[in-house]
Amino acid sequence: MKLMSESVKSAGNQAVIFFPREYPNVFSDIEECQISNIDYISWVSDAPVQLPTGNEVIKSLKNLFDRLGVLKIWNEIFRIMAIRKKLKELLTLNKINLMVMGGDIVGHDMAHYINVGHALAIRSVLAPQWFAGSKEPAETISHLSEYRAGVNINGALVLIKPRWKFKYGNVTLIRLPAWRMLILSFFGVNSPNPWVLHSGYSDAILVESEAAKSYALNLGIPRSKLIVVGSMSHDILYKGLQNLNKLDAPLGRSALCALPPNMFYDLNPARRGQFTSYEELVKFWIERIRIAFGSNFLVCIHPSSGEEVGELLKKFNAPYTMEKAINLIPHFDVYIASISATIQWALVCGIPVINYDVYGYNYPDYEGLDGVWTVVSKEDFGNALCEISLNDSCYKNLRERQKDGASDWGHLDGLAHSRIHDALKNIYRNGVR
């Protein structure tokens, strides 16, 4: 946040970090702003939106919605109206002239931020960590009945709006339940390509690398929006590589493990075959990593995970840290993760990766990449760990192949912040190009 704030400031703008809602690490991020003297605005602790109740007409309409069993539609419409009004006041009062966001997720409020900004002639720029196609959301929602488009209102609506429809296996899905889709239409923020992440109405998208740009183009995101600048993450990695302090590993190579978060609470039941609980998953990962790397490993806890994951790791006597993976990756020989956007950071550093698709998502993000060893079973995971740790020729071959393609994933020169500065200044003054 500090580096991004500095880049926004250097582009000639007042930099203000906006926290519109609560998320797992929001209070630590706010604390970082306070420590670093970064201007910020937070709605996190604000009282919930008060829905209108006084006017007799409003009361009658609300009662009608309630009798029809669709009071949630009423509540959502007024929640969004209140947020849009509040956001307009915020942007006007603070004289905001450029918005930079981490992404635009269908069904979240980002589309409204972009829409309200455009009404005030304020451009919006996305700086996402990664992109995702139709398979990712489909995998997440395919087992939920409210997303099924059959002989119901969902099915009727996708006949009118076919771009909201997606066939996944033998299931026909709608990107959002019909009532939410209709609300987006009411406010004029329907995504032109709702099954693709970040495909809304932002003015520009800053991407980390040529590989990320190619991925986005293949998903159908317009070339005119994409600007390759690197990212603040690259500058952090560059600094780490300039100050290497490899973990002392006298008995073999060192490994950093980005432990996957607990997804059992909303995981498609069809994907739970390998493990019956998150504790069982963690125990298996630690046991297999310890067999391959001895004590020469460190576990990095996912930012969205709570203290209970640390307690689990203590139970299995595993070394762990709450430090962000990006600050640690350059200092290890091997990176172990599960379908994570952080894999691209190891790729740009030329560090071999074992990618264990432990939840069976089968996402195509890292298919066919040199330097990424993707496995899908317990047995293959254990074998891959031992091979990369104990077999010199295997490790060296993987690393050499990885280095050959590292430049596709970014240019580590410590100057990404300068390129971001130039891009933001140009977008503010002249538009995307």
**Residues 112 and 34 occupy one common structural domain:** yes
Judge whether 239 lies within some domain.
no
Rounded Cα gap, residues 59 and 51, in angstroms: 11
**Residues 200 and 81 occupy one common structural domain:** yes
**Residues 306 and 195 occupy one common structural domain:** no
Looking up residue 285, the CATH number of its domain turns out to be 3.40.50.2000
- Block residue for tokens 């760990």: 385
**Residues 142 and 113 occupy one common structural domain:** no
pTM of this prediction? 0.87
Instruction: Check residue 65 and give its pLDDT.
Output: 60
Instruction: Render pLDDT for 88-134 as a digit per residue (tens, 0 to 9).
Output: 999 999 999 999 999 999 989 999 999 999 999 999 999 998 899 99
Rounded Cα gap, residues 415 and 400, in angstroms: 25
**Overall number of domains in the chain:** 3
**Residues 197 and 331 occupy one common structural domain:** no
- List Cβ neighbours of 131 (8 Å cut-off, separation of 6 or more): 196, 197, 198, 212, 215, 216, 219, 221
CB 105 within 8 Å of CB 140: no
Determine the structural domain holding residue 398 and report its residue range.
245-409
Instruction: Render pLDDT for 32-77 as a digit per residue (tens, 0 to 9).
Output: 888 888 888 888 876 555 555 556 666 666 666 666 556 778 788 8
Residues shown for the chain = 433
β-pairing verdict for 123-126 and 204-207: parallel
The three-state (H, E, C) secondary structure of 188-229, written as one string: CCCCCCCCCCCCCCCCEEEECCHHHHHHHHHCCCCHHHEEEC
Average pLDDT, the chain: 87
Judge whether 45 lies within some domain.
yes
Instruction: Check residue 131 and give its pLDDT.
Output: 93
Copy the structure tokens of residue 395. Answer: 């490790």
Judge whether 240 lies within some domain.
no
Instruction: Render pLDDT for 409-430 as a digit per residue (tens, 0 to 9).
Output: 999 999 999 999 999 989 988 8
**Residues 75 and 153 occupy one common structural domain:** no
More confident residue, 355 or 58: 355
**Residues 38 and 83 occupy one common structural domain:** yes
Residue 123 CA to its chain's centroid (Å): 22
**Residues 51 and 195 occupy one common structural domain:** yes
Q: Examine the pLDDT at 368 and tell me if it is beyond 60.
A: yes
**Residues 172 and 37 occupy one common structural domain:** no
**Residues 144 and 111 occupy one common structural domain:** no
